[in-house]
């Protein structure tokens, strides 16, 4: 009879094969493209637009026009639309175009 040799299960020893090199993640430097002056221009533009809508709302009444064909409130008819055009077409685009001008100068 052959004697059976009992072998104990030995843990397998492996060499550490994981990568030991540490790669550092490069930080992406990102800043908000609009600076303080651009935000001030946008704020002024929004303020003028809001003022234009408030002045335009003053013309809302039971009888917005008189019998002679004149409006009761000339502020709502003339000044408010002018303020809206200045806000939408001049000040807000000015703030945006300043951003593109800065990017050309940085290159």
Residue ranges per structural domain of the chain: 39-106
According to the model, what pLDDT value does residue 27 have? 80
pLDDT digits (tens, 9 = 90+) for 50-107: 999 999 888 777 666 666 666 677 788 889 999 999 999 999 999 888 877 776 666 6
Residue 21: pLDDT band (50, 70, 90) is low
68 DSSP assignment: T
CA 99 – CA 30 distance, rounded (Å): 15
According to the model, what pLDDT value does residue 84 have? 96
According to the model, what pLDDT value does residue 43 have? 96
CA 49 – CA 86 distance, rounded (Å): 8
Residue 1: pLDDT band (50, 70, 90) is low
Q: How do the residues of the chain divide into helix, strand and coil, expressed in percent and rounded to 5?
A: 50, 0, 45
């Amino acid at each position: 009879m052959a004697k059976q040799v009992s072998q104990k299960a030995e843990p397998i020893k492996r060499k550490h094969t994981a990568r030991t090199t540490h790669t550092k993640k490069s930080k992406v430097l990102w800043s908000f493209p609009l600076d303080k002056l651009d935000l001030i221009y946008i704020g002024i533009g929004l303020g003028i637009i809001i003022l234009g809508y408030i002045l335009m709302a003053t013309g809302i009444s039971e009888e917005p026009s008189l019998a002679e064909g004149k409006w009761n409130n000339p502020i709502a008819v003339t000044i408010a639309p002018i303020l809206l055009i200045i806000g939408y077409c001049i000040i807000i685009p000015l703030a945006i175009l300043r951003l593109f001008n800065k990017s050309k100068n940085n290159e």
